[in-house]
Amino acid sequence: MNITLPQWNRGLIFAAAVIVLLIVLPVIGLPLNWVLYLFLFFLYLAMANMWNLLAGYSGLISLCQAAFIGLAGYTLVILSWMGIPFYVGIIGGAIVAAIFALLISIPVFRLSGIYFAIGTLVVPEALRIIFLLWRPVGGGQEGLAGGGAGYVLKGATGVSMTELYWFALIIAVASVVFMRIILRSKLGLGLAAIRDNDSTAASSGVNVFRLKLSAFVIGALITGLAGAIFYIYQSYIEPISAFNIRWTMTLILATVIGGMRTEEGPIIGTIVVVILHFLLARYAGISLLIQGLILVIVMLVVPQGIMGYLRQFQVYRSLLQFVTRR
């Protein structure tokens, strides 16, 4: 029996074609700077998707994502000093980030709204101070920032940029797939009910704490994976940058610019963030201020984000229907 194209899921075919193209780009001679741009795009996308899951779909304004990234990076580097392969360190870093999320959920989940955001904001700062004072493997590397508290990743020279690119692509695709699965599951429905009104959700039989904890730990796990891969690329880590609020600002920018509570939003927003990352590199001293101003302007002009704004137009809705129609 002949099968015509309209009977296939066009969205799935298009996504598969894009993924195959992204896989082969480094092999066919894509310039190294473009490989770096895409590498950062993949990592930021995975992190932004997880922040969108927490803030957009669960109502958890988490400002401690830098804690998960920094802990995953430190776990990776410390394990490398113990002679453990880097791919084990990536998994180990993600697990440590997830366990840490599980531990801090006990106190921070007693808070809600703005108090939850403030409670999570202090976590990376506390970790920054701890790692500035603590020498996990007996002393930092000379010449690194952070008062000698930094460490070089051992064995990083054996990993090519193409391999890191592929690792980052896998994490990005996995984050998109996980989001689609979660949002169409009972977990996604429960999180939406909690976001709208957690008291009503609880009275309807929804286990509010368990669902919030599930989203929090999943977000930490995938954010940790992305963070560990970033520190293989950077090949060293130190507390000031590892637990920096810039990480959180990047994720908020990507999600808000693209559109919270939309699956496509973090993709569009991350493209904008990567462009800003390189444009603002020369203004390192005030780049955080500039990003903050951009965030405020976007929230005032298009509070629903780029995707939320586009969804108002019939042309976009018709195009989306055409692509995803079976």
**290-319 pLDDT, tens per residue?**
888 888 888 888 878 888 777 776 545 555
Mean pLDDT of 81-108: 92
Cβ neighbourhood burial of 311 (10 Å; 0-12, 13-18, 19+): middle
The span from the CA of 2 to the CA of 144, in Å, is: 64
* pLDDT exceeds 50 at position 234: yes
For residues 215 and 239, what is the distance between their CA atoms, to the nearest angstrom? Answer: 26
Check pLDDT > 70 for residue 271: yes
> If you average pLDDT over residues 177-205, what whole number do you get?
82
Q: Is 196 helix (H, G, I), strand (E, B) or coil?
A: helix
Mean pLDDT along residues 160-184: 92
pLDDT at 127 over 70: yes
Share of residues in the chain with pLDDT > 70 (%): 87
160: pLDDT strictly greater than 60: yes
Cβ count within 10 A of residue 108: 22
Task: Determine the Cα–Cα distance for residues 63 and 61; give it in Å rounded to an integer.
Answer: 6
Q: Quote the tokens at residue 45.
A: 């996308």
- Residue 62: name the closest of 103, 121, 110, 111 by CA: 121
Q: What is the pLDDT of residue 123?
A: 95
pLDDT value of position 4: 45
Nearest of 226, 242, 213, 178 to residue 60 by alpha carbon = 213
Give the tokens for residue 50: 């997880």
The answer to whether the Cα torsion of 201, 207, 209, 210 is positive or negative is: negative
- What integer pLDDT is reported at residue 111 of this predicted model? 86
Q: Which residues contact 77 (CB under 8 A, 6 or more apart)?
A: 89, 151, 152, 153, 154, 231, 236, 237
User: How confident is the prediction for the chain on average, in pLDDT?
Assistant: 84
Q: What does the alpha-carbon distance between residue 107 and residue 162 come to, in Å, rounded to a whole number?
A: 41
Measured in degrees and rounded to the nearest 5, phi and psi for residue 280 equal: -90, 5
State residue 143's pLDDT score.
40
- Write down the pLDDT at residue 320: 55
Query: What's the confidence (pLDDT) of residue 208?
Result: 80
pLDDT value of residue 138? 58
- Report how far residue 73's alpha carbon sits from residue 184's, in angstroms, rounded to the nearest whole number: 32
**Cα separation values, 282 from 10, 196, 242, 243, 287, Å:** 42, 42, 20, 22, 9
- pLDDT on residue 6: 47
Please report the pLDDT score of residue 192 as a whole number: 79
